A and B are shown apart, each in its own frame.
Chain A
Amino acid sequence: MSIMEYNGGAVVAMVGKNCVAIACDKRLGVQAMTISTEFKKTFQATPKTYIGLPGLATDVQTLAEKFRFKVNMYRLKEEREIEPRTLAHLVSSTLYERRFGPWFVEPVIAGLDKENRPFICSTDLIGCINFAKDFVVSGTTSNQLYGMCESLWEPDLEPEELFETISQSLMNAVDRDCLSGWGAEVTIITPEKIITRTLRSRQD
Protein backbone atom coordinates (compact mmCIF):
# COMPACT_ATOMS: atom_id res chain seq x y z
CA MET A 1 0.00 0.00 0.00
CA SER A 2 1.62 3.22 -1.14
CA ILE A 3 0.93 6.43 0.76
CA MET A 4 0.52 8.29 -2.55
CA GLU A 5 -2.31 5.88 -3.44
CA TYR A 6 -4.21 6.09 -0.15
CA ASN A 7 -6.75 8.71 -1.20
CA GLY A 8 -6.46 8.59 -5.00
CA GLY A 9 -6.81 11.47 -7.46
CA ALA A 10 -5.77 12.83 -10.84
CA VAL A 11 -4.73 16.23 -12.19
CA VAL A 12 -3.74 17.29 -15.71
CA ALA A 13 -2.82 20.64 -17.31
CA MET A 14 -2.40 21.59 -20.96
CA VAL A 15 -1.17 24.51 -23.05
CA GLY A 16 -3.33 26.01 -25.81
CA LYS A 17 -3.23 29.08 -28.07
CA ASN A 18 -2.99 32.01 -25.62
CA CYS A 19 -4.70 29.89 -22.96
CA VAL A 20 -4.08 27.08 -20.49
CA ALA A 21 -6.36 24.45 -19.01
CA ILE A 22 -6.19 22.52 -15.75
CA ALA A 23 -8.48 19.66 -14.74
CA CYS A 24 -8.94 17.31 -11.78
CA ASP A 25 -11.20 14.51 -10.64
CA LYS A 26 -13.43 14.87 -7.56
CA ARG A 27 -12.98 11.59 -5.68
CA LEU A 28 -11.86 11.27 -2.10
CA GLY A 29 -11.38 7.68 -0.99
CA VAL A 30 -9.88 5.60 1.77
CA GLN A 31 -8.17 2.92 -0.29
CA ALA A 32 -10.97 1.17 -2.15
CA MET A 33 -13.86 2.93 -0.38
CA THR A 34 -15.18 6.20 -1.81
CA ILE A 35 -15.93 8.75 0.90
CA SER A 36 -16.71 11.91 -1.06
CA THR A 37 -17.39 12.92 -4.64
CA GLU A 38 -16.85 16.66 -4.06
CA PHE A 39 -13.12 16.72 -3.26
CA LYS A 40 -11.62 19.08 -5.84
CA LYS A 41 -7.87 19.25 -6.18
CA THR A 42 -7.37 22.52 -8.06
CA PHE A 43 -7.06 25.86 -6.29
CA GLN A 44 -6.84 29.41 -7.60
CA ALA A 45 -3.54 31.02 -6.61
CA THR A 46 -3.87 34.34 -8.48
CA PRO A 47 -6.42 35.78 -10.93
CA LYS A 48 -4.41 34.11 -13.74
CA THR A 49 -2.85 31.03 -12.10
CA TYR A 50 -4.16 27.75 -10.74
CA ILE A 51 -2.39 25.06 -8.77
CA GLY A 52 -3.44 21.40 -8.78
CA LEU A 53 -2.58 19.19 -5.79
CA PRO A 54 -3.13 15.43 -6.13
CA GLY A 55 -1.84 12.99 -3.50
CA LEU A 56 -2.47 12.42 0.21
CA ALA A 57 -5.63 14.41 1.00
CA THR A 58 -4.48 15.84 4.33
CA ASP A 59 -1.37 17.24 2.63
CA VAL A 60 -3.51 18.54 -0.26
CA GLN A 61 -5.54 20.59 2.22
CA THR A 62 -2.55 21.75 4.26
CA LEU A 63 -0.48 22.79 1.25
CA ALA A 64 -3.44 24.57 -0.37
CA GLU A 65 -3.66 26.67 2.79
CA LYS A 66 0.15 27.16 3.00
CA PHE A 67 0.34 28.35 -0.61
CA ARG A 68 -2.65 30.64 -0.12
CA PHE A 69 -0.75 32.23 2.79
CA LYS A 70 2.54 32.51 0.88
CA VAL A 71 0.87 34.00 -2.20
CA ASN A 72 -0.97 36.54 -0.02
CA MET A 73 2.25 37.54 1.78
CA TYR A 74 4.00 37.90 -1.61
CA ARG A 75 1.20 40.20 -2.81
CA LEU A 76 1.41 42.34 0.33
CA LYS A 77 5.20 42.70 0.17
CA GLU A 78 5.66 43.02 -3.61
CA GLU A 79 2.40 44.93 -4.25
CA ARG A 80 1.78 42.76 -7.33
CA GLU A 81 0.54 39.26 -8.13
CA ILE A 82 3.08 36.42 -8.20
CA GLU A 83 4.08 35.25 -11.69
CA PRO A 84 3.46 31.53 -12.54
CA ARG A 85 7.18 30.77 -12.98
CA THR A 86 7.93 32.35 -9.59
CA LEU A 87 5.08 30.40 -7.98
CA ALA A 88 6.61 27.22 -9.40
CA HIS A 89 9.87 27.98 -7.63
CA LEU A 90 7.98 28.89 -4.44
CA VAL A 91 6.25 25.48 -4.57
CA SER A 92 9.59 23.78 -5.25
CA SER A 93 11.33 25.36 -2.25
CA THR A 94 8.38 24.66 0.04
CA LEU A 95 8.53 20.96 -0.92
CA TYR A 96 12.34 20.65 -0.75
CA GLU A 97 12.27 22.15 2.78
CA ARG A 98 10.80 18.78 3.74
CA ARG A 99 13.29 16.73 1.70
CA PHE A 100 13.61 13.94 4.30
CA GLY A 101 10.00 13.86 5.47
CA PRO A 102 8.14 15.03 2.40
CA TRP A 103 4.65 16.30 1.70
CA PHE A 104 2.87 13.53 -0.19
CA VAL A 105 1.63 15.62 -3.10
CA GLU A 106 2.88 16.09 -6.68
CA PRO A 107 1.66 19.56 -7.70
CA VAL A 108 0.74 20.89 -11.13
CA ILE A 109 0.78 24.62 -11.92
CA ALA A 110 -0.99 26.32 -14.84
CA GLY A 111 -1.36 30.00 -15.60
CA LEU A 112 -0.70 33.03 -17.82
CA ASP A 113 2.25 35.35 -17.12
CA LYS A 114 2.08 39.14 -17.20
CA GLU A 115 2.36 39.11 -21.00
CA ASN A 116 -0.44 36.50 -21.10
CA ARG A 117 1.95 33.82 -22.32
CA PRO A 118 0.80 30.29 -21.27
CA PHE A 119 2.83 28.54 -18.56
CA ILE A 120 2.53 25.01 -17.13
CA CYS A 121 4.79 22.83 -15.02
CA SER A 122 4.66 20.00 -12.51
CA THR A 123 6.89 18.99 -9.63
CA ASP A 124 7.57 15.74 -7.84
CA LEU A 125 6.92 15.38 -4.11
CA ILE A 126 10.32 16.84 -3.19
CA GLY A 127 10.24 19.81 -5.53
CA CYS A 128 11.92 18.86 -8.80
CA ILE A 129 10.28 21.10 -11.43
CA ASN A 130 9.34 19.73 -14.86
CA PHE A 131 8.81 22.66 -17.27
CA ALA A 132 6.69 21.35 -20.13
CA LYS A 133 5.57 22.98 -23.36
CA ASP A 134 2.59 20.71 -24.01
CA PHE A 135 0.99 19.00 -21.00
CA VAL A 136 1.71 17.78 -17.48
CA VAL A 137 0.03 14.96 -15.54
CA SER A 138 -0.02 13.86 -11.90
CA GLY A 139 -1.75 11.53 -9.46
CA THR A 140 -2.64 7.83 -9.39
CA THR A 141 -3.84 8.04 -13.01
CA SER A 142 -0.61 9.54 -14.39
CA ASN A 143 0.28 6.57 -16.63
CA GLN A 144 -3.16 6.54 -18.22
CA LEU A 145 -3.07 10.35 -18.57
CA TYR A 146 0.29 10.19 -20.36
CA GLY A 147 -1.23 7.84 -22.92
CA MET A 148 -4.36 9.94 -23.45
CA CYS A 149 -2.55 13.31 -23.61
CA GLU A 150 0.17 12.04 -25.93
CA SER A 151 -2.50 10.86 -28.38
CA LEU A 152 -4.99 13.73 -28.15
CA TRP A 153 -2.88 16.86 -27.61
CA GLU A 154 -1.76 19.05 -30.47
CA PRO A 155 -0.30 22.58 -30.39
CA ASP A 156 -2.29 25.83 -30.71
CA LEU A 157 -5.71 24.57 -29.63
CA GLU A 158 -8.28 27.36 -29.12
CA PRO A 159 -9.93 27.54 -25.64
CA GLU A 160 -13.05 25.60 -26.70
CA GLU A 161 -10.98 22.91 -28.45
CA LEU A 162 -8.58 22.73 -25.49
CA PHE A 163 -11.57 22.17 -23.19
CA GLU A 164 -12.67 19.17 -25.27
CA THR A 165 -9.15 17.74 -25.45
CA ILE A 166 -8.35 18.00 -21.75
CA SER A 167 -11.81 16.72 -20.77
CA GLN A 168 -11.56 13.61 -22.95
CA SER A 169 -7.99 12.99 -21.76
CA LEU A 170 -9.03 13.12 -18.11
CA MET A 171 -12.32 11.24 -18.40
CA ASN A 172 -11.00 8.30 -20.37
CA ALA A 173 -7.86 8.06 -18.25
CA VAL A 174 -9.74 7.93 -14.91
CA ASP A 175 -12.09 5.27 -16.30
CA ARG A 176 -9.11 2.94 -16.19
CA ASP A 177 -8.17 3.84 -12.59
CA CYS A 178 -10.11 2.53 -9.59
CA LEU A 179 -8.87 5.29 -7.32
CA SER A 180 -9.86 8.31 -9.42
CA GLY A 181 -12.98 9.64 -11.06
CA TRP A 182 -16.45 10.12 -9.57
CA GLY A 183 -16.80 13.51 -11.27
CA ALA A 184 -14.38 16.01 -12.78
CA GLU A 185 -13.80 19.76 -12.91
CA VAL A 186 -12.09 21.59 -15.80
CA THR A 187 -10.82 25.18 -15.69
CA ILE A 188 -9.82 27.15 -18.81
CA ILE A 189 -7.71 30.27 -18.23
CA THR A 190 -7.69 32.94 -20.96
CA PRO A 191 -6.50 36.58 -20.84
CA GLU A 192 -10.12 37.79 -20.61
CA LYS A 193 -11.75 35.27 -18.28
CA ILE A 194 -11.59 31.99 -16.40
CA ILE A 195 -14.26 29.39 -17.14
CA THR A 196 -14.76 26.45 -14.79
CA ARG A 197 -16.99 23.57 -15.85
CA THR A 198 -18.05 20.42 -14.02
CA LEU A 199 -18.12 17.25 -16.13
CA ARG A 200 -20.76 14.56 -15.83
CA SER A 201 -18.81 11.34 -15.57
CA ARG A 202 -19.19 7.69 -14.58
CA GLN A 203 -19.86 7.27 -10.87
CA ASP A 204 -18.04 4.00 -10.42
Chain B
Amino acid sequence: MSGLKPGEVNLGTSIMAVEFAGGVIIGADSRTTTGSYIANRVTDKLTEVHDTIYCCRSGSAADTQAVADIVHYYLQMYSVQNGKPTVPLAASLFQELCYQNKDNLSAGIIVGGWDKENGGSVWNIPLGGSLHRQPFAIGGSGSTYIYGYCDATFRDGMSQEECIQFVKNSLALAMARDGSSGGVIRMAIITEKGVERIFVPGDELPVHWEG
Protein backbone atom coordinates (compact mmCIF):
# COMPACT_ATOMS: atom_id res chain seq x y z
CA MET B 1 0.00 0.00 0.00
CA SER B 2 1.57 3.26 -0.99
CA GLY B 3 1.51 6.24 1.30
CA LEU B 4 1.63 9.83 0.13
CA LYS B 5 4.76 10.98 -1.67
CA PRO B 6 6.59 14.07 -0.38
CA GLY B 7 4.71 17.15 -1.51
CA GLU B 8 1.64 15.15 -2.47
CA VAL B 9 -1.68 16.62 -1.48
CA ASN B 10 -3.82 14.75 1.03
CA LEU B 11 -7.60 14.72 1.46
CA GLY B 12 -7.26 14.10 5.23
CA THR B 13 -10.98 14.04 5.44
CA SER B 14 -14.22 13.05 7.03
CA ILE B 15 -16.75 11.59 4.57
CA MET B 16 -20.11 9.95 5.06
CA ALA B 17 -23.13 8.61 3.23
CA VAL B 18 -26.53 7.53 4.59
CA GLU B 19 -29.35 5.69 2.84
CA PHE B 20 -32.98 6.67 3.48
CA ALA B 21 -36.37 5.84 1.97
CA GLY B 22 -36.22 8.17 -1.03
CA GLY B 23 -32.47 8.18 -1.79
CA VAL B 24 -29.15 8.94 -0.11
CA ILE B 25 -27.49 11.82 1.69
CA ILE B 26 -23.75 12.18 1.14
CA GLY B 27 -21.49 14.58 3.02
CA ALA B 28 -17.87 15.63 3.40
CA ASP B 29 -15.64 18.25 5.04
CA SER B 30 -13.60 20.63 2.84
CA ARG B 31 -9.96 20.44 3.97
CA THR B 32 -7.02 19.49 1.71
CA THR B 33 -3.57 19.43 3.31
CA THR B 34 0.09 19.34 2.19
CA GLY B 35 1.82 18.24 5.37
CA SER B 36 0.38 20.55 7.99
CA TYR B 37 -0.41 23.39 5.55
CA ILE B 38 -4.04 23.66 4.51
CA ALA B 39 -3.74 23.90 0.74
CA ASN B 40 -7.46 24.25 0.11
CA ARG B 41 -10.01 25.02 2.84
CA VAL B 42 -13.10 24.94 0.62
CA THR B 43 -12.53 21.69 -1.33
CA ASP B 44 -15.43 19.86 -2.95
CA LYS B 45 -14.93 16.17 -2.16
CA LEU B 46 -18.34 15.12 -3.50
CA THR B 47 -17.79 14.23 -7.13
CA GLU B 48 -20.39 13.38 -9.74
CA VAL B 49 -19.82 10.25 -11.80
CA HIS B 50 -23.33 10.21 -13.22
CA ASP B 51 -26.62 12.18 -12.95
CA THR B 52 -27.71 10.49 -9.73
CA ILE B 53 -24.50 8.71 -8.73
CA TYR B 54 -21.84 10.52 -6.66
CA CYS B 55 -18.70 9.49 -4.82
CA CYS B 56 -17.07 10.85 -1.64
CA ARG B 57 -13.27 10.96 -1.95
CA SER B 58 -10.68 10.45 0.81
CA GLY B 59 -6.93 9.72 0.71
CA SER B 60 -4.67 11.08 -2.00
CA ALA B 61 -6.33 13.93 -3.92
CA ALA B 62 -4.57 12.99 -7.15
CA ASP B 63 -5.42 9.28 -6.91
CA THR B 64 -9.10 9.82 -6.13
CA GLN B 65 -9.52 12.48 -8.82
CA ALA B 66 -7.93 10.19 -11.40
CA VAL B 67 -10.06 7.18 -10.40
CA ALA B 68 -13.29 9.22 -10.35
CA ASP B 69 -12.50 10.68 -13.78
CA ILE B 70 -12.02 7.18 -15.23
CA VAL B 71 -15.29 5.90 -13.71
CA HIS B 72 -17.08 9.03 -14.97
CA TYR B 73 -15.78 8.24 -18.48
CA TYR B 74 -16.88 4.60 -18.31
CA LEU B 75 -20.36 5.55 -17.07
CA GLN B 76 -20.73 8.10 -19.88
CA MET B 77 -19.94 5.41 -22.46
CA TYR B 78 -22.20 2.91 -20.69
CA SER B 79 -25.17 5.28 -20.56
CA VAL B 80 -24.87 6.08 -24.28
CA GLN B 81 -24.70 2.40 -25.23
CA ASN B 82 -26.86 0.69 -22.57
CA GLY B 83 -29.06 3.27 -20.81
CA LYS B 84 -28.93 4.52 -17.24
CA PRO B 85 -26.26 2.80 -15.08
CA THR B 86 -27.13 1.49 -11.62
CA VAL B 87 -25.31 2.45 -8.43
CA PRO B 88 -23.92 -1.08 -7.83
CA LEU B 89 -22.50 -0.95 -11.36
CA ALA B 90 -20.68 2.30 -10.64
CA ALA B 91 -19.45 0.91 -7.31
CA SER B 92 -18.19 -2.17 -9.11
CA LEU B 93 -16.15 -0.02 -11.52
CA PHE B 94 -14.59 1.84 -8.58
CA GLN B 95 -13.81 -1.48 -6.93
CA GLU B 96 -12.08 -2.86 -10.03
CA LEU B 97 -9.78 0.16 -10.26
CA CYS B 98 -9.07 0.34 -6.52
CA TYR B 99 -8.41 -3.40 -6.11
CA GLN B 100 -6.30 -4.03 -9.23
CA ASN B 101 -4.14 -0.96 -8.53
CA LYS B 102 -4.07 -1.32 -4.77
CA ASP B 103 -0.24 -1.19 -4.60
CA ASN B 104 -0.13 2.21 -6.27
CA LEU B 105 -3.20 3.92 -4.86
CA SER B 106 -4.14 5.62 -1.61
CA ALA B 107 -7.89 5.98 -2.08
CA GLY B 108 -10.85 5.46 0.26
CA ILE B 109 -14.10 6.02 -1.65
CA ILE B 110 -17.78 5.94 -0.68
CA VAL B 111 -20.23 5.66 -3.59
CA GLY B 112 -23.78 6.87 -3.04
CA GLY B 113 -26.66 7.35 -5.43
CA TRP B 114 -30.17 6.57 -6.58
CA ASP B 115 -31.37 4.25 -9.33
CA LYS B 116 -34.75 2.77 -10.26
CA GLU B 117 -33.96 -0.85 -9.39
CA ASN B 118 -32.43 -0.30 -5.92
CA GLY B 119 -33.68 3.11 -4.83
CA GLY B 120 -31.00 4.72 -2.70
CA SER B 121 -27.82 2.73 -1.95
CA VAL B 122 -24.45 3.33 -0.26
CA TRP B 123 -21.29 1.39 -1.17
CA ASN B 124 -18.09 1.67 0.86
CA ILE B 125 -14.74 0.93 -0.84
CA PRO B 126 -11.94 1.14 1.77
CA LEU B 127 -8.18 1.08 1.06
CA GLY B 128 -7.72 -2.55 -0.05
CA GLY B 129 -10.41 -2.36 -2.72
CA SER B 130 -13.15 -4.43 -1.08
CA LEU B 131 -16.79 -3.54 -1.70
CA HIS B 132 -19.40 -3.23 1.07
CA ARG B 133 -23.03 -2.22 0.76
CA GLN B 134 -24.05 -0.56 4.03
CA PRO B 135 -27.08 1.38 5.34
CA PHE B 136 -24.61 4.13 6.21
CA ALA B 137 -20.87 4.44 5.67
CA ILE B 138 -18.16 6.66 7.14
CA GLY B 139 -14.63 7.13 5.83
CA GLY B 140 -11.46 9.20 5.94
CA SER B 141 -9.10 9.97 8.81
CA GLY B 142 -11.81 11.81 10.75
CA SER B 143 -14.19 8.87 10.70
CA THR B 144 -12.25 7.07 13.44
CA TYR B 145 -13.52 9.64 15.97
CA ILE B 146 -17.21 9.12 15.19
CA TYR B 147 -17.69 5.35 14.98
CA GLY B 148 -19.23 5.32 18.47
CA TYR B 149 -21.43 8.36 17.84
CA CYS B 150 -22.71 6.97 14.51
CA ASP B 151 -23.40 3.50 15.88
CA ALA B 152 -25.30 5.02 18.80
CA THR B 153 -27.30 7.49 16.70
CA PHE B 154 -28.20 5.70 13.48
CA ARG B 155 -31.61 4.06 13.20
CA ASP B 156 -33.26 2.30 10.26
CA GLY B 157 -36.08 4.23 8.62
CA MET B 158 -34.90 7.80 9.36
CA SER B 159 -36.50 10.58 7.35
CA GLN B 160 -34.59 12.82 4.93
CA GLU B 161 -34.42 15.62 7.54
CA GLU B 162 -33.20 13.26 10.27
CA CYS B 163 -30.49 11.92 7.94
CA ILE B 164 -29.31 15.45 7.13
CA GLN B 165 -28.99 16.24 10.86
CA PHE B 166 -27.18 12.93 11.45
CA VAL B 167 -24.62 13.68 8.73
CA LYS B 168 -24.18 17.30 9.87
CA ASN B 169 -23.62 16.39 13.53
CA SER B 170 -21.32 13.45 12.76
CA LEU B 171 -19.12 15.46 10.41
CA ALA B 172 -18.97 18.42 12.83
CA LEU B 173 -17.73 16.10 15.59
CA ALA B 174 -15.13 14.56 13.30
CA MET B 175 -13.95 17.97 12.11
CA ALA B 176 -13.56 19.16 15.70
CA ARG B 177 -11.23 16.30 16.66
CA ASP B 178 -9.36 15.50 13.45
CA GLY B 179 -6.64 17.96 12.38
CA SER B 180 -6.89 16.73 8.80
CA SER B 181 -10.62 17.57 8.56
CA GLY B 182 -12.29 20.97 8.73
CA GLY B 183 -13.57 23.97 6.83
CA VAL B 184 -17.17 23.74 5.69
CA ILE B 185 -19.61 20.83 5.37
CA ARG B 186 -20.78 20.03 1.87
CA MET B 187 -23.76 17.68 1.47
CA ALA B 188 -25.81 16.38 -1.41
CA ILE B 189 -29.30 14.87 -1.33
CA ILE B 190 -29.66 12.37 -4.18
CA THR B 191 -33.18 11.20 -5.02
CA GLU B 192 -35.26 10.26 -8.05
CA LYS B 193 -35.68 13.98 -8.71
CA GLY B 194 -31.93 14.57 -9.00
CA VAL B 195 -29.28 16.17 -6.81
CA GLU B 196 -29.75 19.01 -4.32
CA ARG B 197 -26.60 20.46 -2.78
CA ILE B 198 -26.42 21.83 0.75
CA PHE B 199 -23.64 24.09 2.06
CA VAL B 200 -22.97 24.59 5.80
CA PRO B 201 -20.42 27.36 6.41
CA GLY B 202 -17.90 27.18 9.26
CA ASP B 203 -19.82 29.50 11.56
CA GLU B 204 -23.03 27.47 11.22
CA LEU B 205 -21.49 24.12 12.19
CA PRO B 206 -23.31 22.34 15.02
CA VAL B 207 -21.44 23.10 18.25
CA HIS B 208 -20.71 20.34 20.74
CA TRP B 209 -18.73 20.24 24.00
CA GLU B 210 -15.59 22.24 23.51
CA GLY B 211 -13.79 21.74 26.81
> Which A-chain residue is minimally distant from B142 (CB atoms)?
A32
Give the chain A neighbours of B120 by CB distance below 8 A.
none
A68 to B165, CA, bound (A): 48
Prevailing SS type, chain B contact patch: loop
With an 8 A cutoff between CB atoms, is B182 at the interface? yes
Give the chain B neighbours of A176 by CB distance below 8 A.
37-38, 41
Given the contacts A33-B178, A202-B202, A204-B202, A140 and B183 also touching, CB distance less than 8 Å: no
With an 8 A cutoff between CB atoms, is B31 at the interface? yes
Given the contacts A37-B210, A38-B211, A202-B182, A178 and B31 also touching, CB distance less than 8 Å: yes
With an 8 A cutoff between CB atoms, is B141 at the interface? yes
Give the chain A neighbours of B179 by CB distance below 8 A.
8, 29, 31-34, 178-179
With an 8 A cutoff between CB atoms, is A177 at the interface? yes
- B38 touches which of A38, A177, A182 (Cβ 8 Å): A177
A69 to B177, CA, bound (A): 35
A143 to B178, CA, bound (A): 22
Within 8 A of B (CB), among A147-204: 175-179, 182-183, 202-204
A36 to B209, CA, bound (A): 11
Prevailing SS type, chain A contact patch: loop
Is A34 a contact partner of B178 (Cβ separation < 8 A)? yes
B185: min CB distance to chain A, Å: 10
Is A204 a contact partner of B183 (Cβ separation < 8 A)? yes
Most chain A beta carbons < 10 A, residue from B36, B182, B183, B205? B36
Given the contacts A5-B36, A37-B210, A202-B202, A178 and B180 also touching, CB distance less than 8 Å: yes
State which size class the interface on A falls in: 20 to 34
The contact string, 1 if C-beta is below 8 Å from chain A, for chain B 92-117, is: 00000000000000000000000000
Seed contacts A34-B178, A140-B36, A204-B202; 15 additional CB < 8 Å A-B pairs: A8-B36, A31-B179, A33-B145, A33-B179, A36-B211, A37-B211, A144-B37, A176-B38, A177-B36, A178-B179, A182-B176, A183-B210, A203-B210, A204-B31, A204-B183
Chain A residues proximal to chain B, CB less than 8 Å:
5, 8, 29, 31-34, 36-38, 140, 143-144, 175-179, 182-183, 202-204
